[in-house]
Amino acid sequence: MKKELLDPASRISGVEEYYFSAKLKEIREMNKSGAPVINLGIGSPDLPPSPETIEVLQSEASKPYVHGYQAYNGIPELRKAFADWYRQFYHVELDSDREIQPLVGSKEGLMHIAMAFLNPGDVALVPDPGYPAYSAVTRLAGARVLNYPLLPENDWLPDLDFIELNGVHNAKIMWVNYPHMPTGKRATFKLYEDLVHFAKIHRILLVNDNPYSFILNDEPLSILSVPGAIDTTLELNSLSKSHNMAGWRIGMVAGRPEYLNYLIRFKSQMDSGMFYPMQKAAAKALEAGPDWYEQVNVVYRKRKLVVHQLLDNLGCTYSTDQSGLFVWARIPESETSGRDLSERLLREKRVFITPGFIFGFQGEKYIRISLCQPAEVITEAMNRLS
């Protein structure tokens, strides 16, 4: 006789398993028979970190005294490296001891921020299309999601007047992400100025998620470069995309010390710090100069051209001026939805392309292709689709 299951906590009732988690299970099952599925959906860099980064990891890991628990706010060398990185590339001065908090990946930071600032009944402004985790962490914190549309006719930028007219009552956080995923749109300094002003007027915590600023982008920009932004803004960043270290799970959040102190209250209950050799290696990775980012972008530019060919063959339309690890494209009028197109290509051609609906209602007629496969693999996918 089966025992009756306990009901789960109500906080997960409105949160499904992450789309890619379920889809990767399906792809693994498909790979057990027939031709392997070509996965053009996931944004996990296939290129390695710099050789110097690996060397530091190896040398530090061989030492006998580096394997214990670490401080929750990271080692001083890593915080200083983040501060130097922001100074060199974003032209932003940060106090490494008070205004920077290392994280076990920036996705972790989204949860920390939601739990530290959102109460049941609060509202978070979430972009549509946007990274699904913004909605998920909001709901897990018991707060309510209020989507604000990003439209192609507005070049995927938020219409702050529209948001204001539709009400920001009870809004406590506004999630922002530029360069934007999935559309690849870059922010302007004027947009950041307007966002900071908007947040100050409405007493909203502005959270900018900024992991893509070095990918196919010659001018990295931080919202913290706006004077006074740190008073009302937190910025998340990560080594996952910029330094090919997705599996290392090393990120950061920068902001005013009082806000970071709130985060550490939650974070310190959730983990026990990061492995010391990884922190040392991450500090080395952050020393990379412009040549490092350029050599990575040379590869992505070549891949992007092949992806454009693939999309042309599918009859999709897209902007050639996109940053980040993906190409965002509108499906042809003959297709009913990006989801149907994605499922058909997976089933019939064994090629997986991300459907845009997972990023929100505004993505229904779009698909997203990752640049994290070699050009020859993308070409093979193109041949299958032909």
62 occurs within a structural domain: no
pLDDT at 337 over 70: yes
110 occurs within a structural domain: yes
The predicted structure's pLDDT at residue 65: 94
Residue 42: domain span: 10-48+290-385
4 occurs within a structural domain: no
Q: How many domains does the chain have?
A: 2
101 or 14, which is more confident: 101
**312 and 274, same structural domain?**
no
**272 and 299, same structural domain?**
no
How confident is the prediction for the chain on average, in pLDDT? 95
Mean pLDDT of 355-364: 96
Mean pLDDT of 278-285: 98
**296 and 258, same structural domain?**
no
Q: Which residues contact 8 (CB under 8 A, 6 or more apart)?
A: none
Of the pLDDT bands very low, low, confident and very high (cuts 50, 70, 90), residue 288 is very high
The single residue listed with the structure tokens 């063959």 is: 313
pLDDT at 340 over 70: yes
83 occurs within a structural domain: yes
**242 and 159, same structural domain?**
yes
**162 and 263, same structural domain?**
yes
376 occurs within a structural domain: yes
**214 and 85, same structural domain?**
yes
**For residues 316 and 332, is the Cβ–Cβ distance under 8 A?**
yes
Of the pLDDT bands very low, low, confident and very high (cuts 50, 70, 90), residue 1 is low
The predicted structure's pLDDT at residue 57: 98
Q: What is the pLDDT of residues 188-213, one digit of tens each?
A: 999 999 999 999 999 999 999 999 99
Beta bridge partners of 144: 123
The predicted structure's pLDDT at residue 4: 82
Of the pLDDT bands very low, low, confident and very high (cuts 50, 70, 90), residue 59 is very high
CATH number, position 220: 3.40.640.10
334 occurs within a structural domain: yes
Distance CA 167, CA 146 (A): 10
**For residues 126 and 175, is the Cβ–Cβ distance under 8 A?**
yes
SS (H, E, C) 208-231: EECCCCCCCCCCCCCHHHCCCHHH
Strands (E), 18-170: 38-39, 100-103, 123-128, 144-149
Q: Please, what is the angle between helix 257-267 and helix 106-117, to 10°?
A: 100
Residue 91's SS3 state is coil
Q: What is the pLDDT of residues 312-322, one digit of tens each?
A: 999 999 999 99
The predicted structure's pLDDT at residue 5: 83
Of the pLDDT bands very low, low, confident and very high (cuts 50, 70, 90), residue 111 is very high
pLDDT at 3 over 80: no
323: number of CA atoms within 13 Å, CB side? 22
Of the pLDDT bands very low, low, confident and very high (cuts 50, 70, 90), residue 13 is confident
Of the pLDDT bands very low, low, confident and very high (cuts 50, 70, 90), residue 186 is very high
**214 and 168, same structural domain?**
yes
Whole-model pTM: value is 0.94
Give the end of a domain, one of 236, 263, 285.
285
DSSP state, residue 356: G
351 occurs within a structural domain: yes
**238 and 141, same structural domain?**
yes
How many CB atoms sit inside 10 A of residue 19's CB?
A: 15
**For residues 326 and 370, is the Cβ–Cβ distance under 8 A?**
yes
The predicted structure's pLDDT at residue 277: 98
224 occurs within a structural domain: yes
Nearest to 204 by CA among 173, 239, 177: 173
**353 and 237, same structural domain?**
no
> CB-based burial of residue 119 (10 Å sphere; 0-12 exposed, 13-18 middle, 19+ buried)?
exposed
Mean pLDDT of 94-118: 96
**279 and 151, same structural domain?**
yes
Mean pLDDT of 266-287: 95
Q: Which percentage of the chain shows pLDDT scores above 90? A: 87
Mean pLDDT of 273-285: 97
**For residues 129 and 360, is the Cβ–Cβ distance under 8 A?**
yes
CATH number, position 31: 3.90.1150.10
Give the end of a domain, one of 247, 268, 285.
285
Give the end of a domain, one of 230, 264, 285.
285
Rg (CA), the chain: 21
The predicted structure's pLDDT at residue 12: 77
Distance CA 47, CA 243 (A): 9
Instruction: Give the CA angle between residues 231, 251, 320 to the nearest 5°.
Output: 90
pLDDT at 2 over 70: no
Q: What is the pLDDT of residues 137-183, one digit of tens each?
A: 999 999 999 999 999 999 999 999 999 988 787 899 999 999 999 99
**321 and 261, same structural domain?**
no
**179 and 92, same structural domain?**
yes
Distances (CA, A) of 192 to 63, 162, 177, 241, 356: 44, 17, 11, 22, 26
